[in-house]
Structure 1
Amino acid sequence: MDSTVERRTELSQFLRSRRARLRPDDVGLVSYGTRRVPGLRREELAQLAGVSVEYYVRLEQGRNPHVSDVVLESVGRALRLDPAEQDHLRNLARPDRARPTARSRALPRTGAVRPGLRRLIDAQPGPAYLCGPRTEVVAWNARAAAVFGDFARLPDEQRNFAYLVFLDAAYRELFADSLRDKAEATVGFLRVSVGRHPDDPSLASLIGTLAMKSEEFGTLWARQDVHDKGPGRYTLKHPVVGPLALDFEILHLPDAEQVLVGYLPAPGTPAEENLALLASWTG
């Protein structure tokens, strides 16, 4: 794979995938003629967005770098994009103006963690870790290591949640009951990062490695789904203490494009007792 992600190709594939998931009757249009592919035709989407077919074709092909925010918002409404998808469209269509802190440039390498942030992670009552925009694990506390494994023992290229989710058998077994959700969330988060940083060679290399080694990743990547990290719940199958139902919350750190993820036992489950047991063994 090339050391960068081709923005024009990404934009084209994203818009085509969003058209494909809508049918004419979903948006109040009458279907006509034989459809060779699912979803809306380009001319139907152009009609809904209030632009000419020629203009929309140029946009979808990445040949309109000066497209306005008004048009992008109209196209987003026509495609029924959610906020994360709309932001992704803007990043792809206008990388120079989409986000003041995220241009078409390579991401900086992960640096040292601020002492205050390090203390915050260590002070969390449950597992907590800091995740970078390439899904790299930047920092973690002892309970995170007890639950998810000792990240310190992993080579740098494997200390990465996308790598672990798709290529590490033990990690996949840990997420056995929530693996599909975790895989989809991971791919969606990588999509967000690619939209912001298509020129980052490390990010492109990670995606290329996953695409070559994991058929599951390739299938999910082709869907073009976009998800920023948000709160939720995973049910883990820990090899020592058994089931762990954990709720998690996300704190975004925009200055570093990192997220702090903290887990707590789900109410009414044995997870609290099991976590306490793990903590007693790890200190």
Structure 2
Amino acid sequence: MTTDLGEFLRSRRAAISPEDAGLVSYGARRVPGLRREELAMLAGVSPTYYTRLEQADHHNASDAVIDSLARALRLSAEEHDHANYVLAWNDLGHRLFGHGLDFDAPYAGRPLRPNLVRRFFLEPGGPELFVDPEATALQMVGFLRYSSGLHPDDHILSCLVGELVQRSDLFAELWAEHPVMDCGYGIKRLRHPVAGRLDLAYEAMVLPETSQRIVLYRAEPGSPSADALERLARG
């Protein structure tokens, strides 16, 4: 059985020749690219350990190992940050979307960082935060389709989509319908476990020269949502 990270590592390993990695190639090769033992040597890990990473045990990989593999595979900064979508949040953002998670979750090791799309489709109770989970599911899938069109060679995004297609029947069904949505702005209608009903306007800003986005949320001044957001901020 292979994993999303395993598929990603195999694809990148196959794309680098021994000469590109500074190695001397000996003998005939059945497949292109680096052998597992060659990449393991370049990354400073044992061949047995690296083989487990490609097969099933990726959650045991430390940041130091991932960094070593990234250098050995010559990954770009975008490829290196493998499929993490929540990199930071402020205190209110954590209270809004990180219910049940530690505030420091985005700053933990890569396998532990929260991913809102993965949480919605794969974790129990994920859709319950939203007033209209059906519409939210369609928007999330539509945004991933939109992102795939902008970045057709993005292995990170492909790995995330592949995982969701395999593990979520709902995601697979919606993905097959080919919805495309930018979702750069709009209204999030939430049913928060602490604050109750929240209708929040949002706008996403793309950081220059990256694919990272900062999403800003606000409630209409004087509205019930503004009052609920203030209560949530007070804790």
TM range (shorter): 0.5 to 0.7
User: 2:160 is matched with which residue: 192, 201, 206?
Assistant: 206
1:108 maps to a residue whose letter is: E
C-alpha distance in 2, partners of 1:200/1:106? 11
Residues 118-140 of structure 1 show CA distances to partners (whole Å, capped at 9, x for unaligned) of xxxxxxxxxxxxxx9x5711221
- Aligned residue number for residue 143 of structure 1: 92
- Aligned residue number for residue 108 of structure 1: 78
- Aligned residue number for residue 153 of structure 1: 105
Matched, 1:166 2:121: yes
Residues 220-257 of structure 1 show CA distances to partners (whole Å, capped at 9, x for unaligned) of 11111211232111221111121111111222224112
Cα deviation for residue 268 of structure 1 reads 5.7
**SS of aligned partner of 2:78:** coil
Residues 162-211 of structure 1 show CA distances to partners (whole Å, capped at 9, x for unaligned) of 10121122331111x13222222211221122223333332222111111
Identity %: 36
Residues 12-51 of structure 1 show CA distances to partners (whole Å, capped at 9, x for unaligned) of xxxxxxxxxxxxxxxxxxxxxxxxxxxxxxxxxxxxxxxx
Mapped contact 1:106–1:197 kept (Cα < 8 A):
no
Cα deviation for residue 3 of structure 1 reads 4.3
**SS of aligned partner of 1:140:** coil
Give unpaired runs (5+ residues) of structure 2: 10-74
**SS of aligned partner of 1:220:** helix
**SS of aligned partner of 2:197:** strand
Matched, 1:189 2:152: no
Q: Which has the higher contact order (CA 8 A, sep 6+)?
A: 1
- Aligned residue number for residue 35 of structure 2: none
Matched, 1:274 2:189: no
C-alpha distance in 1, partners of 2:183/2:219? 19
2:116 maps to a residue whose letter is: F
Cα deviation for residue 142 of structure 1 reads 0.6
User: 1:238 is matched with which residue: 189, 192, 208?
Assistant: 192
C-alpha distance in 2, partners of 1:189/1:207? 11
C-alpha distance in 1, partners of 2:133/2:80? 27
With over 3 angstroms needed to count, the CA separation of the structure-2 counterparts of 1:260 and 1:204, relative to structure 1, is same
C-alpha distance in 2, partners of 1:192/1:200? 12
C-alpha distance in 1, partners of 2:182/2:208? 13
Cα deviation for residue 109 of structure 1 reads 4.4
**SS of aligned partner of 1:247:** strand
1:221 maps to a residue whose letter is: W
**SS of aligned partner of 1:232:** strand
Residues 59-101 of structure 1 show CA distances to partners (whole Å, capped at 9, x for unaligned) of xxxxxxxxxxxxxxxxxxxxxxxxxxxxxxxxxxxxxxxxxxx
- Aligned residue number for residue 81 of structure 1: none
C-alpha distance in 2, partners of 1:229/1:254? 18
Mapped contact 1:251–1:259 kept (Cα < 8 A):
yes
Give unpaired runs (5+ residues) of structure 1: 5-104, 112-131
With over 3 angstroms needed to count, the CA separation of the structure-2 counterparts of 1:249 and 1:196, relative to structure 1, is closer
- Aligned residue number for residue 42 of structure 2: none
With over 3 angstroms needed to count, the CA separation of the structure-2 counterparts of 1:197 and 1:250, relative to structure 1, is closer
